[in-house]
Each structure stands twice: as structure tokens, then as C-alpha cells.
Amino acid sequence: MLTRVSPLGGYIGKLLLWCSCILFIYPILLVFLSSVKTKSELALRPFGFPEHWTTESFAKALRTMNYGRSLLNTSLIAFVSVACVVIMASMAAYAISRKNNRLYNGVYLLFIAGMIVPFQMAMIPLYKVLTALDLINTYQGVIFIYLGSLTPFSVFVLSGFVKGVPKELEEAASIDGSGVYSTFFRIVLPLLKPAMTTIIVLNLFTVWNDFLMPMLYLSDSKKATITVKLSAFQGMYFNDWSLIFAGVCLIVTPMLIVYLFAQRYIISGITAGAIKG
């Protein structure tokens, strides 16, 4: 039985939603407005609209960050890492969901355990391992670490989706002579599109915005990511906030474009995952 909401309750709910939107949007707007102010105006009027709009901070940030090279480094690490994670996690989730025995249940528990261990506990042993393997200060070393840190969560999410795929589809494919790999790539994988898109975007955001890992394992400035380059605007006794805000805008813009294109799939994937549990 549905209960009728009073008009006053509806107005209060809308007011709370508008207040929440303002709380989320205002910091983003403040960052953009601060990036188009001059350094002196930002110091005098940090919270107001700029009197004189300028793109000087963006031009200087592009030069100082070596934006083209750092963007290429970040894109290479992010897209290769996420592609490898999605391929491995989807195949692992399929095997775990379809094989209900102690071995695969134990493997699933190992993936879950990987979500519990914080990265701060493993960063020193990982540094020693990468040094021993001669992978320190290389793209491959950082990608391997992202592969290990992002796969557990991806397997956890995709396992619930695979369980929602009817086994009758796979049985029908096997009757037609389809093998395990052919069934997975032609039947199961296309049905995981919402979940895959959600995993891709969430992991892409994680790698793109990460600062600690590239800072620790990529000491070569030519291989630095955009988040590491942003730290060049910060010092012990002085921070150039105009450049910092401009750099933040430059970092956020590519991921904002990705999110706008994939928003529909992200929402549907999260909703379906909540239902399938």
C-alpha cells in the first residue's frame, strides 16, 4: 500500500536536494573561477566572481606540467591497466561463478582478501620486488601493481553479474558446438556490458587520479603522470594557488568527458549490481 506524501514533505525534500546539489557544485565552480583569476585577485577576493577573466594560469600550467607528455604517460598507464584488469577479472569472475567447489571458492576468498589489505602496508615490499625484477621506474612495473590492486574489486563486482546470466544460454551454445572460450566471449561477455562499463570507468578514475603510486615507482620526470606534475606548484613555504586550480581543471577535464559519455551505463550497471547482489 502506497502512502501519500504531503505537499509540505515534498517541498522539504526538494529543498534538501537543491541544498545537496549546491554543496557538491559550489567547490567545483570555485575551482574553475579561481583558475581564471589573477594571482593578486585570488588573494583579495578568493570566493567571488573574477572581475578580469584570464587564461594566463592555464597557459603557464600547460608549460610547467609539460601537459602533453604527462597526459600521454597517464593515458598509457591508465588505459593499459584498466584493459588488463577488465579482461582478467571478467574471466576469473566467470570461472568462479560457474565452478562451485572448494578450489574456486578459496580463490574467490583470496580476491576478497586482496580488498582488505591496504596499499600502505604493501608499498615497501612492492618497491623491493620491483627493484629485484628491474621494473622500478618503468611503465610495466606500475601497470602490474595496478593490475594486482584493482582486480579483486572487479572480480567481486563481476561475479554477481555472471551469476545473473542464465546457464541455459551456455548450454544451448555448447549443444551447437561452442567451446568454453567461444561461449564466454560470444554469449556471456556481451551480457556483462553494463557491469564492464561501470568497472572500466571506476577503475579509470582510480588510476587517473592516483598520486602515491606514480610518485613512488616512477622517479623519472619524463615518465611522471599529471597528478605528480601538479605537485610542482606546491612548495614547503609557498603555493601558487592559481596554477594549482588551473592544473586541477586540466586533470579533471578528460575524465569529465569520459563520465559524460558513459554516465548512462554507469548508473544502469550500479543499479543492476545492487539488484543482483
8-state DSSP, 33: H
Q: Among 32-36, 50-54, 141-145, 227-231, where is mean pLDDT lowest?
A: 50-54
Top pLDDT among 100 and 61 is at 61
Q: Find residue 270's DSSP bridge partners.
A: none
On whether both 217 and 86 belong to a single domain, the answer is yes
> Does residue 3 belong to any structural domain of this protein?
no
> pTM for this one?
0.82
- My answer on whether 79 and 123 are in the same domain is yes
Assign residue 257 the CATH number of its domain. 1.10.3720.10
**Residue 121 CA neighbour count, 13 Å, CB half:** 6
Q: What is the pLDDT of residue 3?
A: 55
- Give 277's pLDDT tier (boundaries 50, 70, 90): very low
Is residue 59 one of the residues assigned to a domain?
A: no
Backbone angles phi, psi at 176, to 5 degrees: -80, 0
Q: Is the pLDDT of residue 143 over 90?
A: yes
Establish if 28 belongs to a structural domain. Answer: yes
Q: What is the pLDDT of residues 188-222, one digit of tens each?
A: 888 888 888 888 888 998 999 999 899 889 888 88
Q: Is the domain of 172 the same as that of 73?
A: yes
Domain with 38 in it: 9-54
Q: Are residues 34 and 122 in the same domain?
A: no
* In a domain? residue 2: no
Q: 68: helix, coil or strand? A: helix
Contact 147, 85 (CB under 8 A): yes
Whether 35 and 154 map to the same domain: the answer is no
Residues 124, 188 share a domain: yes
Residue that is written with C-alpha cell 549546491 in the block? 22
Residues 94 and 40 in one domain: no
| Dihedral angle sign, alpha carbons of residues 215, 218, 220, 224 | negative
Residue 177 lies in a domain: yes
Beta bridge partners of 239: 234
Q: Both 92 and 213 in a single domain?
A: yes
Burial class (CB in 10 A: 0-12, 13-18, 19+), 82: buried
